[in-house]
Structure 1
Amino acid sequence: MGTIVVAPLGRIAELAVRHRCREMLSLVAPKQDFHRPAVISAGRHLILGVNDIAFAGTGNLVAPGEEHVAAIVGFARGWDRQAPLLVHCMMGVSRSPAAALIAALAVAPDQDDHDLAQRLRRASAQATPNVRLVAIGDHVLGRGGKLVAAVKAIGRGADYVGESPFSFSALPESAEP
């Protein structure tokens, strides 16, 4: 299967049930309170307390770091891909699309970065992956700048018009059954 569902926080319960997700990756502000949907087991839910910022040293905010990306990679590699992976942040526009790209490359590292970024863009006109997460993901996954270039090529997403969850395949089309 290999589908990744990207969502805003306010829609996680609905989308977890609709897509029959069993695993979830949450990128939320540190100490942000929310309820994990009952269909997601605590053992297959990774919560990363990071703010949606591009630079470290921004006041009391927590910038995404290598340890966060390493956790995304490890979590994604433990995903059995039998059910969709739900990835969310507050609005489903920046942190979660970046994490979804990283997760897709973690489970299918032989795929083309530009094709992956294009699949993301076709799925969401407003996705604007967090540049810091993308750059760190590129480094941690040994992409040699290909992921950064691919995300730069799709450009900034359209202006935010409201909650627009989306899904896309983590696997290249040639790898789909």
Structure 2
Amino acid sequence: MPALHVCPLSRLAETVAAVRPSHLLTVINAATPVPRPEGIGPENHLVIGVSDILEAMDGHILPGEEHARQIIGFVRRWNRERPMVVHCYAGISRSTAAAYIGLCALRPDLDEFLLAERLRRAAPSATPNARLVAAADRLLGRRGRMSEAIAAIGRGVDAFEGTPFALPLDS
């Protein structure tokens, strides 16, 4: 069953070993080095250097449309024969936004609120980056529904880092 697996950087190696993904999506600060795990080719590893912020700040990269476009393109090229792992530093904001964007891109037939609820059930600490979600919402033509759905699930429970979880594509 194809799924998006989400984890923090600290649990990347164990998550990759456990699920044996074909693709890896890294959404992390540009200056944070992330070695590509063994078994994932460079063509199957997308690194998006972006800060987890909602407004411009000196020295930081603000998430925007180009980042959302890269996420959408990458998940759409994934053949779904093996899982994809999505991670950021803490596994709470950028990676959960990217996973939600991926679900919405791959499952245009499903309601945004249903997908957001799936995210919340799988990850109580998920607090997807609203700016990244809003950019994808525009690109996918979801007319604000993705942003509304993420606002509806609210901020996740406080956590230093998220617990790894999976979002199946076909349920």
CA drift at 1:169: 1.5
> Are residues 1:26 and 2:29 paired?
no
The CA deviation string for residues 120-145 of structure 1, in whole angstroms up to 9 with x for no partner, is 00101000000101111111111001
Quote the residue 2:3 is aligned against: 3
> Are residues 1:103 and 2:130 paired?
no
Give the percent of matched residue pairs that are identical in Structure 1 and Structure 2: 43
What runs of 5+ residues in structure 2 fail to find an aligned partner? none
CA drift at 1:162: 4.0
- With over 3 angstroms needed to count, the CA separation of the structure-2 counterparts of 1:134 and 1:22, relative to structure 1, is same
> Are residues 1:48 and 2:48 paired?
yes
Output the CA distance in 2 between the equivalents of 1:161 and 1:64: 21
Output the CA distance in 2 between the equivalents of 1:46 and 1:161: 25
Matches within 5 A, 1:83-162: 83-162=82-161
Output the CA distance in 1 between the equivalents of 2:96 and 2:149: 13
Output the CA distance in 2 between the equivalents of 1:162 and 1:113: 25
Q: What amino acid does structure 2 have at the position aligned with 1:20? A: R
- Does the 8 A contact of 2:75 with 2:102 survive in 1? yes
Output the CA distance in 2 between the equivalents of 1:21 and 1:133: 24
- With over 3 angstroms needed to count, the CA separation of the structure-2 counterparts of 1:9 and 1:161, relative to structure 1, is closer
Instruction: Give the SS at the match of 2:12.
Output: helix
- With over 3 angstroms needed to count, the CA separation of the structure-2 counterparts of 1:3 and 1:64, relative to structure 1, is same
CA drift at 1:2: 2.6
Output the CA distance in 2 between the equivalents of 1:163 and 1:153: 20
Quote the residue 1:76 is aligned against: 75
- Does the 8 A contact of 2:91 with 2:161 survive in 1? no
- With over 3 angstroms needed to count, the CA separation of the structure-2 counterparts of 1:62 and 1:154, relative to structure 1, is same
The CA deviation string for residues 26-55 of structure 1, in whole angstroms up to 9 with x for no partner, is 001012112111021111000000000011
What runs of 5+ residues in structure 1 fail to find an aligned partner? none
Q: TM-score of the superposition, structure 2-length normalised?
A: 0.96
- Give me the CA root mean square deviation: 1.1
Output the CA distance in 2 between the equivalents of 1:163 and 1:124: 7
- Does the 8 A contact of 2:90 with 2:160 survive in 1? no
Instruction: Give the SS at the match of 1:86.
Output: strand
Output the CA distance in 1 between the equivalents of 2:110 and 2:158: 29
Output the CA distance in 2 between the equivalents of 1:65 and 1:77: 19
Q: TM-score of the superposition, structure 1-length normalised?
A: 0.93
Instruction: Give the SS at the match of 2:25.
Output: strand
- Does the 8 A contact of 2:51 with 2:63 survive in 1? yes
Output the CA distance in 2 between the equivalents of 1:152 and 1:32: 29
